[in-house]
Amino acid sequence: MKKLASILAVTLAAGVLATGCGSSSGSASKDSSSDSGKTVIKAATGANAKPYVYVGDDGKPAGYDVDVLNAVFDKLPDYELEYEVTDFGSVLSGLNSGNYQIGVNNFSYNEDRGASYLYSYPYDKISYVFVTKKGGKEIKSFEDAAGLSFEGGTGISVSNAVEAWNEKNPDKAINITYSDADTSVFLQHVADGSQDFTIIDLAMYNSYMEEFNYDVQKNDIPEDEAKMIAENSYAYYIFPQDQKDLREQVDKALKELKEDGTLTEISKKWYGQDAAPEDDKFEETIN
């Protein structure tokens, strides 16, 4: 993940992004800088996971996750949405402290995180791949990676999965290098041989390869091992525990976006295919 020297705050103009109905509990606040009287919702992101969320050429957050959230708040005219870009760990700590009301980082679900944060309905289906140097040893399972070097971000799902593998298989441990660098750096390190492999999701792999054409190759992660990374194959927005009303409003809008085809339209824009979750995923939240 890319470490930013300072937090980049981006307030989206009302003409670009409308804001939401209802009021939220907890630390959501009124915008004292305007006469709108709208409830300000701060959405925090690491902005380091293209094509999901990243900082665009205009200095503002962009990507699939952002387009979907913007479409959500287009349906919520009493809210004013602000984005803040920070490092991944500060997204979570900022939600805990009440500085942010939504976490936007293509979050997968796991029980530990589910005990601390509320999850929205899913808005994306994801899959993961092993990435190795082209022409080198291919990795098709965690066992294949025993003794090899892996580079990943601290606290993210793929790094947690490698840690879990090492804990259960100390005789087949993988050597972990933690970094806050951008995913593009991880891929470059695999391509130049300074790291043996990394793990990213397929949409990110395709996006970076289209842009940079690294000298790397991929293999799908088996379904049973993918569950070590995420307990399911969906992505979610997350909220502090005191933002149940806000989550309800976001979920209602997400369901409408699924029903009217907007999720499909946005996913085709970014991925070239329909990555909207199935209809039954919009009936009950995961926690």
Average pLDDT, the chain: 88
**Are 68 and 23 a contacting pair, CB within 8 Å?**
no
> What domains are there in the chain, each with its CATH number?
8-125+233-282 (3.40.190.10), 128-229 (3.40.190.10)
Q: Is the pLDDT of residue 286 over 70?
A: yes
What is the band of 30 on the pLDDT scale with cuts at 50, 70, 90?
very low
How many other C-beta atoms are found inside a 10 Å radius of the C-beta of residue 215? 15
* Least confident span in 6-10, 207-211, 271-275: 6-10
Q: Give the residue, 25 or 260, on which the prediction is more confident.
A: 260
What confidence tens digit (pLDDT) does each residue in 158-201 have? Answer: 999 999 999 999 999 999 999 988 899 999 999 999 999 999 99
What is the band of 18 on the pLDDT scale with cuts at 50, 70, 90?
very low
**Are 91 and 45 a contacting pair, CB within 8 Å?**
yes
What lies within 8 Å, CB to CB, of 150 at 6+ separation is 162, 174, 175, 176, 177, 195, 196, 197, 198, 199
Q: Is the pLDDT of residue 266 over 70?
A: yes
What confidence tens digit (pLDDT) does each residue in 94-106 have? Answer: 999 999 999 999 9
Q: Mean pLDDT over residues 79-84, rounded? A: 97
| Cis? peptide before 170, omega within 30° of 0 | no
What is the band of 28 on the pLDDT scale with cuts at 50, 70, 90?
low
What confidence tens digit (pLDDT) does each residue in 195-232 have? Answer: 999 999 999 999 999 999 999 999 999 988 999 998 88
What is the band of 33 on the pLDDT scale with cuts at 50, 70, 90?
very low
Q: What is the share, in percent, of the chain residues with pLDDT greater than 70?
A: 88
Q: Mean pLDDT over residues 73-77, rounded? A: 97
What is the band of 241 on the pLDDT scale with cuts at 50, 70, 90?
very high
Q: Is the pLDDT of residue 19 over 80?
A: no
**Amino acid 35: pLDDT:** 53
Strands (DSSP E) contained in 71-178 are 79-85, 102-107, 118-119, 124-125, 128-133, 149-152, 175-178
Q: Is the pLDDT of residue 22 over 60?
A: no
Question: pTM to 2 decimals?
Answer: 0.77
Structure tokens at 159: 């790094």
What confidence tens digit (pLDDT) does each residue in 117-133 have? Answer: 999 999 999 989 999 99
Which residue, among 48, 207, 189, has the nearest Cα to 132 in the 3D structure?
A: 189
